[in-house]
């Protein structure tokens, strides 16, 4: 196997090892990944990857990714944080590529996107921002005081205390009414959760273009929520049936067409078995396999696109 797909990994440092591999000019994420774990003495644990090392590596990498400096928020509910150094170095793009690689080659679902982040990458309209999404404690306290004001004079005093922060966001103004206060507060929250990180979001989406993941997300955002979000709503077999469809069928009435129809029945039955937990795979893993490297189809199935 060529060095263009090799990742030499030391446990506990999967992110750094992946970053070095991705930054290598010869590295090609579309080739089958060749993961070699090296122990603390520098001895390779195995040079031939039969799938197990790749899945283990991707599982560990995803865990480290969600704790990376470009994310913030609680475990399993991450949004993008603004890190100017990471942005300049292209780290948001790099992490997007890593997530795509883990999903497709390792069949490991990220499942830590917040609803806001998921809607951002899917190009969906943003949700109304809330004070709970402001991670800076001091700023959130000042904004909460503005929101809690019961009269105009109190709102003005609270705005004065947050003059520096609101001015940077373009949301500082003389409060004329409580309705005006609400408009200014809403603008500030929208800036913090959407406008401030727009460049970072766009760079992150560039990384998710790897393997066509971003395009697939925009088309099938409802079906794939369970792959990217820690949501109680699971990925269902019926949704995978609609996501992957056959593009090539033989002439109706022919023996070959009947065999193809039988294959479709087997495929749908198997998806139900996976959904029921009767196999070692998950539906999230099936999604990764069917969108695997070097192929845009799985067993004759391709991704449904709008007419």
User: What's the pLDDT tens digit per position in 60-84?
Assistant: 999 999 999 999 999 999 999 999 9
Partners of residue 301 on adjacent β-strands: 246, 298
Highest mean pLDDT among 90-99, 102-111, 220-229, 269-278: 90-99
Distance, CA of 89 to CA of 203 (rounded, Å): 11
Please, are residues 270 and 263 in contact by the beta-carbon 8 Å criterion? no
For residue 297, give every residue at least 6 positions away whose Cβ sits within 8 Å of its Cβ, in sequence order, or none: 247, 290, 303
For residue 146, give every residue at least 6 positions away whose Cβ sits within 8 Å of its Cβ, in sequence order, or none: 155, 158, 159, 162, 181, 185
- Residue, of 301 and 159, whose pLDDT is higher: 159
Distance, CA of 145 to CA of 164 (rounded, Å): 15
Q: What is the pLDDT, as a whole number, of residue 301?
A: 40
Lowest mean pLDDT among 8-22, 90-104, 184-198, 248-262: 248-262
Q: Is 55 helix (H, G, I), strand (E, B) or coil?
A: helix
Residue 181 tokens read as 């206060």
Phi, psi (deg, nearest 5) at residue 77:
-145, 60
Distance, CA of 178 to CA of 15 (rounded, Å): 48
Q: What is the pLDDT of residues 131-180, one digit of tens each?
A: 999 989 999 999 999 999 999 999 999 999 999 999 988 888 899 999 99
pLDDT for 114 beyond 50 = yes
Residue 126 tokens read as 């943003």
Q: How many CA atoms lie within 13 A of 239 on its CB side?
A: 18
| Percent of the chain whose predicted confidence (pLDDT) is above 70 | 80
pLDDT for 5 beyond 90 = no
Partners of residue 83 on adjacent β-strands: none
Q: Is 221 helix (H, G, I), strand (E, B) or coil?
A: coil
Please, are residues 207 and 95 in contact by the beta-carbon 8 Å criterion? yes
For residue 124, give every residue at least 6 positions away whose Cβ sits within 8 Å of its Cβ, in sequence order, or none: 221
Distance, CA of 61 to CA of 57 (rounded, Å): 6
pLDDT for 206 beyond 90 = yes
Distance, CA of 93 to CA of 24 (rounded, Å): 15
Q: Kindly state the average pLDDT of the residues 30-51.
A: 69
Q: Kindly state the average pLDDT of the residues 178-185.
A: 93
Q: What is the pLDDT, as a whole number, of residue 3?
A: 63
Closest to 302 in 3D by CA, of 217, 251, 219, 244: 244
What rounded mean pLDDT belongs to the chain? Answer: 84
């Amino acid at each position: 196997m060529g060095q263009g797909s090799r990742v030499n990994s030391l446990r506990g440092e999967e992110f750094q090892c992946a970053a070095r591999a991705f930054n290598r000019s010869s590295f090609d994420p579309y080739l089958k990944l060749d993961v070699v774990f090296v122990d603390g003495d520098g001895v390779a644990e195995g040079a031939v990857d039969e799938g197990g090392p790749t899945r283990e590596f991707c599982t560990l990498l995803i865990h480290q990714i969600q704790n990376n400096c470009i994310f913030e928020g609680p475990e399993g509910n991450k949004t993008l944080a603004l890190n100017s150094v990471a942005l300049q170095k292209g780290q948001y793009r790099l992490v997007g590529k890593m997530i795509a690689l883990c999903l497709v080659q390792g069949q490991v679902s990220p499942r830590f996107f917040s609803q806001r982040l998921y809607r951002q990458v899917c190009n969906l309209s943003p949700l109304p921002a809330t004070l709970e999404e402001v991670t800076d404690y001091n700023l959130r306290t000042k904004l909460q005081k503005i929101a809690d004001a019961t009269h105009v004079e109190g709102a003005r005093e609270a705005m004065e205390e947050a003059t520096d922060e609101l001015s940077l966001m373009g949301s500082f103004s003389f409060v004329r009414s409580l309705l005006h206060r609400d408009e200014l507060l809403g603008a500030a929250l929208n800036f913090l959760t959407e406008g401030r990180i727009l460049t970072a979001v766009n760079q992150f989406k560039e990384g998710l273009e790897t393997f066509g993941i971003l395009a697939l997300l925009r088309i099938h955002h409802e079906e794939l929520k369970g792959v990217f979000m820690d949501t109680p709503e699971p990925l269902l077999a019926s949704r995978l049936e609609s996501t992957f469809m056959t593009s090539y069928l033989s002439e109706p009435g022919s023996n070959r067409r009947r065999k193809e129809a039988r294959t479709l029945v087997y495929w749908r039955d198997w998806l139900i078995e996976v959904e029921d937990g009767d196999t070692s795979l998950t539906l999230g893993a099936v999604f990764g396999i069917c969108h695997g490297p070097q192929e845009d189809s799985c067993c004759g199935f391709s991704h449904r696109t709008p007419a």
